[in-house]
Amino acid sequence: MPRRRIYDPLTELLAAVLLVVLVLVVNRWEFSLAVLVLGVLPAVLLSGRPRQIGLAIALVTGPLLVSSLLLHGLFFPEGRTVLADLGIARVTAEGLSFAALMGLRMGVFSGVLLTAAMTLDVPELLASMTHRGWNRKLVFVVGSAVGLIPHVALRGQRITRAQQARGLVVGRGPLSRFRALLTVLTPLVIGLLVDASERNRMLEARGFSSPGVRTSYLPDTDSPRQRLVRRCMVAAVAVFSTVWLVASP
Amino acid sequence: MITLESGSFAYDDGPTLLPDVTLAVGPGEYVIVAGASGSGKTTLARLLAGQTGGDAGSSFRGAITLDGETVRFDGASTDPRIDAAAWSARVAYVAQGGWGQLSMMSATVGEEIAFGPANRGVPAGELRRLVTEVAAALRLTDLLHRDPRRLSGGQLQRTVIASAVVQRPRVLVLDEPFQGLDDDAAQDVAAALAGLRRDGTGVVVCEPMLPRTAPQGARVLALAEGRRVFDGPLVEARRAGLPRYGIGTAGDPPRPEQGAGPAPVDPSAPELVAVARVSFRHAHDGGGPAGDAPDGHAPDGGRAGGAGLSGVDLSVRAGEIVAVRGPNGSGKSTLLQHLNGLHRADAGAVTVGGLPILRQPTGTLAATVGYLFQDTDQQLFERTVLREVAYGPRAAGLAKDDAARRAVEVLEAMGLGSLARSHPYELGFVQRRLVAVACLLATGPPVWVLDEPTAGLDGPTRSMLAGLLVQRAGEGGAVVLATHDASFADAVAHRTVWLEAGRVRTGDAAPGA
Amino acid sequence: MSSLTLAPTARQRPRRLLIGLGGALIAATYLFLVTVQPVEIAGGVGSAASLVTLFGFLGGGALLVGGILPMLSTSSLVVMPLGIALNIAIGQIAGSLGMQIYLDAIGTVLVAVLAGPAAGAATGALSNAIWGLFNPFALPFAAGAALIGLLAGLAARYGAFRRVYLAPAAGLVVGAVGGLVAAPVAVFMFGAAGTFGTNAIIAVFRSMGDKLLVAATKQGLLSDSLDKIVVFVIVALIVYALPPRAVRQFPFARTHRVLGQRTASEPAGGPAATVRGDGAGIA
């Protein structure tokens, strides 16, 4: 069951971005860890879909963390405190702590943003952008792209099956894969372009080029109070960051 | 209300279409523009919709009069440019196929219908009223909260019509709105059109054939190769000898040139397709990679992925043609895709051409089983028709020159020789379907599997296809086709297997030979 | 003038100020990162550097998009979502396979070739912004993606897609520039973490004693060049296989003869002269 929405998507996204900025400004592992444990974790658990979000964070961040650990843990020429010498590779304390710091930062970064994005209702975001009077072309490109992604993936799968039915066998070699990619991509792109040219006419006929402000079928979830809150949040983070960066050595 | 007087129309340097064709549509009228592939009916529909194509390099001479206002075109670059938004408020146009006409940015049918008025800045309250009204008229009220990208063919068609007519235009022009729909869905769409006509909207429908049923007083403008060949009431059109222009009546049996029905099957002929107690469940319940969407569109949201199969038997001998029929979602495509390895049975066994389908890659079966998808466009990828048709023989191991020679032979035999150097996607829908069939012929597999092969075909092509299937069986091949086209199945198939909810319906189906 | 026809109108002008500002911000950010900051990385994680990276590149990208979007025609606009969706769909697959190349710019380059550098740049930037909804690590690379789109469009305009052997050469150059720009982002934001494939390359340079930024830049030059060579060749082969009519609907591709003779005129004896009626085709 999805969480009941309280705030406008713009407010939620802005809050997530500002949190990331704060983490970068403060730049202490204690703070990053606190945000992760006290901010991201409860948000994920209360999101109504903790498993999907947890899995997404793990899938997106996990490989990066591991490869980062391997890279800096084994190859950190600036490191002085050698813990283990493995010939070409040296495990150094500096390397490990660098990897840990970077890993924590990446964890917070993806944790905060992914949680915000995955609890986001895209139609609501688009409606909110329209109500705020954002450029209609931007709203169209964003909305249409998000809508097309699953469609493109599905169509790609269908075309792959159709080409297999015609005798496509994907081998292991890079050349064979390259060819397979082309036999699938070509009809995919042609089909999408045919749709796009039809959509071009449709947009013109539906008055997409009309001047003036677009309206939205969906109700506005924003309020003057939230707009005020957003401005205050930005101001507060800006002031805090300036003070912190100037004051810290 | 609208009057189109076409002097001439030409794409680039192509031949002249629609010379001296006049069409006037009044309030509440129902006009059928009938014509075979390449007759210029889509061009006519687009002209009515104000798409004169000046920006795409085509030239139009003539005039269009809309509510007493006349716009003239001389085929010159100084021609007036039509304001598509203003025009569409009075003449709505629904092109072929629904997908290209979705904005793709609406998560619900309601938003999609409101897309046009929202662009024009109609305030929110008014938007809701407009959407509610048009949804009620087209019986979409229950679907307003559904995702427009996951509708069945008929629902999608009605959504697209609703989005086009939400501005209450005087005329609605539709290009083959019934293509690929089963009877129920087609009736829903027809009922929606009838509702609009009661409110005074003139309706123009382009069709490859004369419809079997049409509203009272329907008029027909028949086109052949860009020229008008008939103009008058539908009742007279039926007697006007239009089949000589390739305009038959939907539901008529095909008329293959060579011989009549299929030759009797030799009971001792080898079994080419053997499906034994096959059961299958789709991996994802929620709309996974469904190859069996009803018409190349998104799977029906209600039962995404189509039905599975339970305990299906099917046996087809050499020389035999078997039709598989049943309602949408009964598992027809699922069964068909077991025959070339696109689906693998959960239980039971499938043997095709003596080859048991186990774990081998699907692609290796292409020389044994030829598969024609309902949505042909997913299969074509080369840049000329010749290369396209030569691909199969090449993949089967023929040398380049031999493959090309084989392709030329097949294209000549099918009367497509002049298209060999065309780009497949610059051909019309019917010709693209023929190219896909030519690919099958050139590769020459013993077993043919075809999914809705006649959907959207015109009369001559449908008859030609019937001839090809009969010929294939006569040469000792086996043909399995899934179809809604009853008269086609009756004319070419030796027997029909009925599927319902993934099971073979016994009683009216002859048991496997 | 009839109410049904349009008066001849001038195209909307690009907002040059925004585009200029955006470009300047991105360039300044890059120079700052490369010239001022490399020392910091050895000592610590660097707070200012990552902030500058985030704001400089994202802000610059946003300004670019804001400047470009108003001038785009509807025909350019409708292919951008397509390019973005292709980028993300293919990029996700390549990323999950842990490949040494990304293949996440096929859509951007395709849009750039058909609709021009401006549309290409906007597609690149928006592509990474939207991808950020599924994979936040794509977000800071938005400016680099915009640069790829811009350069690919310029390459197309000056004929890099008229011959099939020119495409990989253009890809090499564009990829090298892209790699240079992407490296500091990767280093200052995420300590150069990438896929196993790319990190293995960095590890080789690190084991030879290179600084992280230097190693990441070298890896970027290698991977991005290779990636863009492959991407440019794929896009060239795709656009050659497109029906000429589909290409000609794009004013950019038509006026600059992006594909050379292939679209300049109907092929001699072209059977495209067949009567075309019911096309779901591109007529």
Q: What residue in C sits closest to A68 (Cα-Cα)?
A: C193
Contact B364, A169 (CB under 8 A): yes
CA distance B131 to chain A (A): 9
Q: According to the model, what pLDDT value does residue B289 have?
A: 35
pLDDT tens per residue, range B197-228: 998 999 999 998 899 888 888 999 999 988 99
How far apart, in whole angstroms, are the C-alpha atoms of residue B131 and residue B150? 19
Is any Cβ of chain B less than 8 angstroms from the Cβ of C260?
no
Here the tokens at position B105 are 């940015």
Q: Of chain B residues 418-447, which have a CB less than 8 A from chain C? A: 418-432
Handedness of CA C6, C7, C8, C13 (dihedral sign): negative
Neighbours of chain B (3+ CB pairs under 8 A): A, C
φ/ψ of B305, rounded to 5, equals: 90, -5
Residue B497 binned pLDDT confidence (cut-offs 50, 70, 90): very high
Structure tokens at C268: 């001699």
- Given a contact cutoff of 8 angstroms between Cβ atoms, the answer to whether B325 and B509 are in contact is no
pLDDT at B27: 93
Classified as helix, coil or strand, B97 is: coil
Q: Supply the pLDDT for residue A158.
A: 86
* pLDDT tens digits for range A55-100: 988 888 888 888 888 888 888 877 778 887 877 777 888 888 888 8
Instruction: Determine the residue among B18, B423, B430, B433 to mutate to test chain C binding: the one whose Cβ has the most chain C Cβ atoms within 10 Å.
Output: B423
| Chains contacting A (3 or more CB pairs within 8 Å) | B, C
- pLDDT tens for B350-396 read 998 888 888 888 888 888 899 998 877 777 888 889 999 998 888 87
In three-state secondary structure terms, B276 is strand
Is residue C283 in some structural domain? no
Chain A positions in Cβ-Cβ contact with residue C66 (cut-off 8 Å): 135
Domain boundary assignment for chain B: 2-245
Q: Which stretches of chain A are DSSP H helices? A: 9-26, 29-34, 41-46, 50-74, 93-118, 122-131, 136-165, 174-205, 224-247
- pLDDT computed for residue B381 by the predictor: 80
pLDDT per residue as tens, chain A (249 positions): 444 567 889 998 999 999 999 988 888 888 889 998 998 898 888 888 888 888 988 888 888 888 888 888 888 877 778 887 877 777 888 888 888 888 888 899 899 999 998 888 888 899 999 999 898 999 999 999 999 998 898 888 888 888 888 888 877 778 888 888 888 899 899 989 988 888 888 898 888 888 888 899 988 888 889 999 999 999 999 999 888 888 875
pLDDT of residue C10: 54
pLDDT for B254 equals 85
Note the pLDDT of residue B4: 93
A208 touches chain C (CB under 8 A): yes
Report the DSSP beta bridge partners of residue B24. B3
User: Would you state the pLDDT for residue A175?
Assistant: 83
Chain B residue with minimum CA distance to C282: B426
pLDDT of residue B288: 36
Nearest CA in chain B to A122: B107
Residue closest to A167 by CA, chosen among C232, C215, B398: B398
Nearest residue in C to A103, CA atom: C190
The structural domain count of chain C equals 1
CATH number at residue C155: 1.10.1760.20
C89 touches chain B (CB under 8 A): no
Give the 3-state secondary structure of residue B398.
coil
Averaged over B242-246, what is the pLDDT?
88
Of B104, B114, B373, the CB nearest to A217: B114
Closest-CA residue of chain B to A194: B100
Window 109-138 of A: residues touching B by CB (8 A cutoff) are 122-123, 126, 130, 136
DSSP secondary structure letters along A83-112: EEEETTEEEEHHHHHHHHHHHHHHHHHHHH
pLDDT tens for residues B263-282?
Answer: 888 888 888 888 888 999 88
**Residues spanned by the domain of C37:** 13-259
- Residues of B with CB below 8 A from A195's CB? 99-100
DSSP A224: H
pLDDT at C146: 93
| Average pLDDT of the residues in B241-246 | 88
CB contact under 8 A, B380 and A187: yes
Which residues on A lie below 8 Å from C249 (Cβ)? 197, 200
Identify the three-state secondary structure at position B63: strand
Nearest residue, CB atoms, A216 vs list B88, B118, B120: B118
Taking phi first (over 0 means left), then psi (-120 to 50 degrees means alpha), and beta for anything else, what does residue B38 get? left
**Structure token pair of residue B96:** 């072929």
Interface of B with C in 341-380 (CB under 8 A): 377
pLDDT at position B475 over 80: yes
Answer whether residue C265 is part of any domain.
Answer: no
When pLDDT is averaged across residues B345-352 and rounded to a whole number, the result is: 89
Residue C239: inside a domain, yes or no?
Answer: yes
d(CA B128, CA B235): 42
C271 touches B at CB < 8 Å: yes
**Strands annotated E in B353-443:** 355-356, 369-372
**Inter-chain residue contact B392 with A167, CB threshold 8 Å:** yes
Residue in B with minimal Cα distance to A156: B378
CA B395, CA A179: separation in Å to the nearest integer? 13
User: Cβ distance C109 to C152 under 8 Å?
Assistant: yes
Inspect the interface and report whether the beta carbons of C195 and A141 lie closer than 8 Å: no
CA B378 to chain centre: 14
Higher pLDDT among residues B198 and B181, named by residue: B198
Chain B within 8 Å of C14 (Cβ-Cβ)? Answer: no
Residue type for position A61: T
Q: B2-245 has which fold?
A: Rossmann fold (3.40.50)
Q: Which of A204, C22, A231, A154 is nearest to B52 (CA)?
A: A204
Question: Would you call C10 an interface residue with chain B, using a CB distance cutoff of 8 Å?
Answer: no
- Minimal C-alpha gap between C264 and chain A (Å): 19
CA distance B62 to chain A (A): 21
Q: Provide the 3-class DSSP secondary structure of residue B282.
A: coil
User: Pick from C81, C192, C246: which is nearest to A144 by CB?
Assistant: C81
A191 to chain B, any CB pair closer than 8 A? The answer is yes
Is position C214 within any domain? yes
Separation between Cα atoms, residue A131 and residue C252, nearest integer Å: 33
In a domain, C280, yes or no: no
Low-confidence ranges of chain C (pLDDT < 70): 1-2, 8-14, 37-46, 97-100, 261-283
Q: Measured between CB atoms, which of B85, B110, B367 is closest to A204? A: B85
**Taking each helix axis from N to C terminus, what angle separates C166-190 and C212-241, rounded to the nearest 10 degrees?**
140
Cα C196 to Cα B252, C95, C231: the distances in Å are 63, 10, 21
Confidence of residue B184 (pLDDT cuts 50, 70, 90): confident
Distances (CA, A) of C59 to B8, C50, C70, C128: 53, 13, 18, 13
In a domain, C194, yes or no: yes
Q: What is the spatial distance between Cα C113 and Cα C120, in angstroms, rounded to a whole number?
A: 8
Question: Looking at the complex, does the CB of residue A186 fall below 8 Å from at least one CB of chain B?
Answer: yes
